[in-house]
Structure 1
């Protein structure tokens, strides 16, 4: 239970609604900032403007998956007015307050570090990233089917990277009957790909491996699909870049060659916001409860 804990939300999308519901169920005191246009007002939650006064007694501050942009603006689909998190806001937070987000840009990290406020980036956590790989893969398969005129079954599919999303992606493609090759750098990843019954190759061989690819799914957040690599692909290849912005593909050159290449970050929130929200809610409620236990007697 989160009885006696003050949780504030600043902005967000449909995923946040699941987290808000969960916090209310667990008896937290909930403040919503930047939810002016939200029609269903949650019983037990208060809508407030973004002011220093509102933030003064907050124990846990929850920001959207992408915390702020480079100028401190927080995205909110439920508010028409811009929300900007400034130095004065961070300074008004209590030192025991913990700020939770999916991933933080340097602006947010520096803002909180200057005030010695703890920051937790949920997408850095293995559990959240593995759960999130499920809607990501489903969304990726949906997009691949929508944008091509062949079946995944029997196709030549390449997955780049064997992280949390790469492994789930490779497994799903294999289960659908694709001939799957997976590119990785680390020897233990190459061994794991072989163990999974897939074809491993080292990134240094990427140019040679793409010559007959139908689908290429990139999960590596650095430029791996360079012009030199794209030049070796058949014009019918379809690239889906699942890495965080700006992705790992030379999109300009792909367009020039007439190869369809799409950047699709944040698929969980697009294709399955309810599931993605429940994943966040489960983890966040546990972390806030742990934070309270660690903090000890602040609310006694």
Structure 2
């Protein structure tokens, strides 16, 4: 299956979007690149243009960067200095079948999609994207831990908070490097799975007791979980790495006051492995676009 005849606008972004562009041009999609005027590389079948020049009435899909837009509708791009805004007026000119893809959303985008009634896909909400992304996230966490400790991961005592899509991969990766891993969760089935995987399970309500003997604490839970009270029970040399989306789940102010190193590290795939992170998005996006095209052809 190819994307021949499908018109897609790729608007702004970073190095990850280049992998998306490469994949979609291979599939013969017609691409309009907005916010790429400083990109030296050119892609066959892709046209650099501006938001004012593109014929949006012909668009089948719009691909926004991983971070979507700001709360003012502005799209960030590392390949242009020209300001780009996604507005209600712009989207209302697109065909009703036009689908908007973004990594994550915010209140501005949510309200915009509601007002324009356009189909809307948040890629980072998808299990497949999150699970694939957990691999570079785990590798990036290893990098951070090595940089900020004076002891080996092998033999160290690691507490992972949360057994979600990221927590599971991180726990397994650190255990494979020889760490003694304990994992905190709330749900009974997660605690059972932690035990089955060979890790030490603990209830998150018992976190203060669980952190008393650890060297590294890795948080994946996007709510305040590593509180001042929890940090006060940790050994002074403990390193906290918070992988949750901003503002994280750690009391960074208290950690600094106590002299415990605590690092907020969201978005690691795009930092440590932009090519792989881009390929993950490209593969999922191309499949979603192919599915869309197939459905539209079947309706005709």
2:237 corresponding residue in structure 1: 236
Closer, same or farther in 2 for the Cα pair 1:175/1:11, shift >3 Å?
same
Residue 182 of structure 1: how far off its partner (Å): 0.2
Separation in 1, partners of 2:297, 2:262: 51
- Residues 243-287 of structure 1 deviation map (CA, whole Å, 9 limit, x = unaligned): 111111111111111111111111111101111111111110000
Separation in 2, partners of 1:277, 1:172: 22
CA RMSD after TM alignment:
1.3
Separation in 1, partners of 2:4, 2:90: 25
2:112 corresponding residue in structure 1: 111
Pairing 1:56-95 to 2, within 5 Å after superposition: 56-95=57-96
Residue 81 of structure 1: how far off its partner (Å): 2.1
1:145 corresponding residue in structure 2: 146
Pairing 1:208-247 to 2, within 5 Å after superposition: 208-247=209-248
Q: Give yes or no for contact 2:158–2:181 (8 Å, CA) kept in 1.
A: yes
Residue 150 of structure 1: how far off its partner (Å): 0.6
Separation in 2, partners of 1:52, 1:45: 15
1:174 corresponding residue in structure 2: 175
Separation in 2, partners of 1:137, 1:122: 19
2:201 corresponding residue in structure 1: 200
- Residues 211-254 of structure 1 deviation map (CA, whole Å, 9 limit, x = unaligned): 12111111111111111111111121101111111111111111
Q: What SS does the corresponding residue of 2:212 show, helix, strand or coil?
A: coil
2:268 corresponding residue in structure 1: 267
**TM-score w.r.t. length of structure 1:** 0.97
Q: Give yes or no for contact 1:36–1:79 (8 Å, CA) kept in 2.
A: yes
Separation in 1, partners of 2:133, 2:111: 27
Structure 2 unaligned residues grouped into runs of 5+: none
Q: Give yes or no for contact 1:240–1:263 (8 Å, CA) kept in 2.
A: yes
Q: What SS does the corresponding residue of 1:30 show, helix, strand or coil?
A: strand
Q: Give yes or no for contact 2:32–2:54 (8 Å, CA) kept in 1.
A: no
Q: What SS does the corresponding residue of 1:211 show, helix, strand or coil?
A: helix
- Residues 30-85 of structure 1 deviation map (CA, whole Å, 9 limit, x = unaligned): 00001111111212111111138532211011001111121111111111122221
Separation in 1, partners of 2:49, 2:78: 16
- Residues 131-174 of structure 1 deviation map (CA, whole Å, 9 limit, x = unaligned): 11110100010010001111001101000000111000000111
1:30 corresponding residue in structure 2: 31
1:6 corresponding residue in structure 2: 7
Separation in 1, partners of 2:91, 2:199: 48
**TM-score w.r.t. length of structure 2:** 0.97
**How many pairs align?**
299
1:97 aligns with 2:98: yes
Separation in 2, partners of 1:76, 1:182: 38
- Residues 188-227 of structure 1 deviation map (CA, whole Å, 9 limit, x = unaligned): 0000000000000011001111112111111111111111
Structure 1 unaligned residues grouped into runs of 5+: none
Closer, same or farther in 2 for the Cα pair 1:252/1:54, shift >3 Å?
farther
Residue 296 of structure 1: how far off its partner (Å): 2.5
Separation in 2, partners of 1:181, 1:212: 11
Separation in 2, partners of 1:90, 1:252: 42
